[in-house]
Amino acid sequence: MRNDEAKSNARGRLRRIEGQVQGLQRMIDNDAYCVDVLLQISAVQPMSEDVEAAYSAPWPVPESKAGILRFPDLVPISPDHPDTPAHLRVREALGRWEKPALVLFSDSDPIFSPRVAERIAAHIPGALEPEIVAGAGHFLQEDRGEQIGTRIRRFVEENA
């Protein structure tokens, strides 16, 4: 049986998911584009319309969204994917990186779990222990911008 705090947290997460689903339904009804939908489901904290508009600004017309719509196809999901060699070269280079590295991930990213942060930090010789930012999704800078900025500033100061 879950304790009261765990139940409350689960209920809050379900309410947030319900709100996101309702928002997605409105976006689909209003012919919102993929970028807008991905942004909505990737964030944990509510975003203002101005912030959402800023993310969409580089792609003002449907034709300009062709590149961003192809982006997910560029992420290798199999060894024979055409972009796998480039990603493996980056992985190899990170495995030799001995300068300090700050690895920040969120606790609620729908794409990458905190376990990914642990694996990345373990792979980079100069990485600090990964830091998991509470209450953030895939867009940490939007969900916890001030906290992230403060942490990055401190990291730079400590490692300058």
C-beta of residue 141 within 8 angstroms of C-beta of residue 148: yes
Instruction: Convert the pLDDT of each residue in 101-143 to its tens digit.
Output: 999 999 988 888 899 999 999 999 999 999 999 999 888 888 8
C-beta of residue 33 within 8 angstroms of C-beta of residue 60: no
CA distances from 137 to 62, 66, 78 (A): 26, 25, 25
Instruction: Convert the pLDDT of each residue in 28-58 to its tens digit.
Output: 676 655 556 566 666 777 777 787 788 778 8
C-beta of residue 69 within 8 angstroms of C-beta of residue 59: no
pTM: 0.67
The DSSP letter of residue 94 is: H
- Please count the other Cβ atoms lying within 10 Å of the Cβ belonging to residue 36: 19
Contact partners, residue 152, CB within 8 Å, separation at least 6: 102, 104
Domain 75-159 has CATH 3.40.50: yes
Smallest Cα–Cα separation from 72: which of 117, 118, 37? 37
Q: Where are the domains of the chain?
A: 4-72, 75-159
Distance between CA atoms of residues 136 and 123, nearest Å = 24
Which 3 state secondary structure label does DSSP give 53? Answer: helix
